[in-house]
Amino acid sequence: MRLTFHGGAKEVTGANYLLELGDTKILVDCGMMQGSNYAERQNFEPFPYDPKTVSAVFVTHAHIDHTGRLPKLVKDGFRGEVFSTPPTREFAEHLLEDSVDILSREAKKHNREPFCRPETLGVLKGLWKGVKYGEEITVGPFKIIFHNAGHILGSSFIEIKAPSTNSGQETKIIFSGDLGNMPSPLIKPVEYIDNADYCLIESTYGGRLHERVDKLRDDLEDIVENTVKAGGTLMIPAFAMERTQALLYHLDSLMGEGRIPRVPVFLDSPLAIRLTGVYQQFGDYFNKETREFLKKDKSLFDFPSLKRTLRTEDSKKISRVPPPKIIIAGSGMSQGGRIIHHEKEYLPDPKSIILFVGYQVKGSLGRRIIDGEKMVKILREDVPVRAKPVTIHGYSAHADQRQLLDWLSPMRQGLKKVFVVQGEEDQSTPLARKIEDELAVSAEIPSLGETVILQ
Ligand code: ZN
């Protein structure tokens, strides 16, 4: 069995792994590469394999860095099957629509060949099948099972078995996808596997330890209280999935318990509004605590002071509502989206707070504000930063170093090698070292395009 790393090697994004045995080729993930630009040039380049010869793609979860190049794969001739859990398929439909839109504009701007054709997303949808956790699928010599990764709703790590060349035995390989930060505010915790021959493990936060997740709601309470006391605006640049819903859930429960006043909350992101609707269809995937809450409060992501502003006109009216108020809007790193309009308005206000709940890449506006820049450029205007920047790391949906090691630990006896992927080198290197020292398993950080033979 041959495994080639066509993405996610020495970088967080662009996950794309090719497995070959005999004439059968399958892929795990087909993600977009993202850097300080939303879409890097490499996403438009031809695949290093012929998409027509690929039988199937297995998608770990809906995030664009795991799905974003699927439309291009279809445009370039792929007509096999795509498998994921049903929520991943639903979320991906919305997220891909959004990203294809951005990529198409990007292609026009730089005079590139279109990223895909208008009919491509429809074709992709027709090839895409939903499978449950634990169900076994067969494609050629491969047997595939999805397991809950606890990262975002419907997220999976994938177990693949194939016959070994030299005996009647099977070789088992695990693709971690992205693993969740536990306990998740909303979804069930990650599953564990107790034996495997090989494992690819993500390392977004392979070198760091998170703050305690159970403090999250208390931290959020303090920040809202401070904003209300000062009479300012709380801006939260948020990613449309999981973090936004976790924030809404926490605001709903804090207001319900009377721990914070019922100030107006604006969910100012059409994509987040649509994705929140998908969450409501998949209540079975929620953890016990969230399902208990749902018994008392039928609407997990809705409360009296929440306003969803779908239309641009409504978004513009938010500035007329007097503070204190809370605005949740994308994009998560302030690289565009509606949040930048609110930042232009309220960053100069010393009574306001800007709360970061996710990773801010170097060069992004979010990162510059965190790093303490006193003057930033927004929509070609100089904007002074007098609002206070605050960060809560715990809303991250990624496991930290300890959690990654704990997840690997039950399978360490049989592991021949671990491939550390989906991380920048300052995160993957410390994780690889820990895997070798603590678990006594050989660990390697593969390079882009590298092929290994698994037996
Ligand atoms: Zn992810």
Q: What is the pLDDT of residues 232-246, one digit of tens each?
A: 999 999 988 899 999
- In whole angstroms, what is the distance from residue 318 CA to residue 63 CA? 29
Reported as a single tens digit per residue, the pLDDT across 283-331 is: 999 999 999 988 887 788 889 999 999 999 999 999 999 999 999 999 8
Backbone angles phi, psi at 244, to 5 degrees: -60, -45
User: Residue 299 C-alpha to ligand 1 middle, in angstroms?
Assistant: 25
Q: What are phi and psi of 172, to 5 degrees?
A: -115, 130
Q: How far away, in angstroms, is 29 Cα from ligand 1 center?
A: 11
Burial class (CB in 10 A: 0-12, 13-18, 19+), 19: buried
Ligand 1 mean position, distance from CA 197 (Å): 24
Strand 265-267 and strand 353-356: the pairing is: unpaired
- Whole-number Å distance, alpha carbon 61 to ligand 1 midpoint, is 7
Measure the CA–CA gap between 112 and 99, rounded to whole angstroms.
Answer: 16
Question: Structure pTM?
Answer: 0.92
- Residue 168 has what pLDDT? 77
Q: 10 Å Cβ neighbour count for 118?
A: 9
Q: Which of 130-139, 285-294, 429-438 has the lowest mean pLDDT?
A: 285-294
Tell me the mean pLDDT in the region 331-337: 88
> What's the mean per-residue pLDDT of the chain?
94
* 166 pLDDT more than 80: no
How confident is the model over 160-188, as a mean pLDDT?
A: 91
User: How many angstroms is it from 63 CA to the middle of ligand 1?
Assistant: 5
pLDDT surpasses 80 at 114: yes
> How far does the centroid of ligand 1 lie from the alpha carbon of residue 157, in Å?
11
Distance 137 CA to ligand 1 centre (A): 23
Residues 270-285, mean pLDDT to the nearest whole number: 93
Ligand 1 midpoint to CA 319 (Å):
33
Is the per-residue pLDDT at 212 higher than 80? no
Q: For residue 39, what pLDDT band results from cuts at 50, 70 and 90? A: low
